[in-house]
């Protein structure tokens, strides 16, 4: 079981906003300012969407935003579009090791 817990699925209609949570369930998941988020379409490599909780790499739409409250990080996608339908993974450290959340499947209705 991952030290980072995500909901298995979320859904939303085009134009709406959705939020995906990522909760640290292990006490050794530290430095929770180091959280990144990845988008993965079927059969494709993951793509970095957010790093250091809330920073966007160049080329990533400002519809994607990240935040953190306590031991839960969140990815919010506003103005949902059909191409946002994908799997999303959070990522952080557990000690010196890297851990990914279990992933959340986003369905755009």
Partner 1 sequence: EVQLVESGGGLVQPGGSLRLSCAVSGFPFSRYWMSWVRQAPGKGLEWVANINQDGSEKNYVDSVKGRFTISRDSAENSLVLEMNSLRAEDTAVYYCARDRGSLRFDCWGQGTLVTVSS
Q: Which residues bind partner 1 (CB under 8 A)?
A: 2, 34-36, 38, 40, 45-48, 51-52, 57, 87, 89, 91-93, 96-103
Q: Tell which phi-psi region holds residue 82, choosing left (phi > 0), alpha (psi between -120 and 50) or beta.
A: alpha
CB of 15 to partner 1, least distance (A): 28
CB of 47 to partner 1, least distance (A): 8
CB of 84 to partner 1, least distance (A): 18
Q: Are 94 and 49 spatial neighbours (Cβ–Cβ below 8 Å)?
A: no
CB of 62 to partner 1, least distance (A): 18
3-class SS of residue 94 = strand
Residue placing its CB nearer to partner 1 in the complex, 10 or 99:
99
Range 12-50 burial, b when 16+ CB lie within 10 A, else e = beeeeebebbbbbeeeebeebeebbbbbeeeeeebeebb
Residue placing its CB nearer to partner 1 in the complex, 47 or 68:
47
| DSSP β-ladder status, 104-108 and 86-94 | antiparallel
Residue placing its CB nearer to partner 1 in the complex, 47 or 63:
47
Residue placing its CB nearer to partner 1 in the complex, 40 or 76:
40
């Amino acid at each position: 079981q991952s030290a980072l817990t995500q909901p298995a699925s979320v859904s939303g209609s085009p134009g709406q906003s959705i939020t995906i949570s990522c909760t640290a369930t292990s006490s050794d998941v530290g430095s929770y300012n180091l959280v990144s988020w990845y988008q993965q379409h079927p059969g494709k490599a993951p793509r970095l969407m957010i790093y250091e909780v809330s920073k966007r790499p160049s080329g990533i739409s400002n519809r994607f935003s990240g935040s953190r409250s306590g031991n839960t990080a969140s990815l919010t996608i506003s103005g949902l579009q059909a191409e946002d339908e994908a799997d999303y993974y959070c990522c952080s450290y557990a000690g010196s090791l890297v851990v990914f959340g279990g992933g959340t499947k986003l369905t755009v209705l």
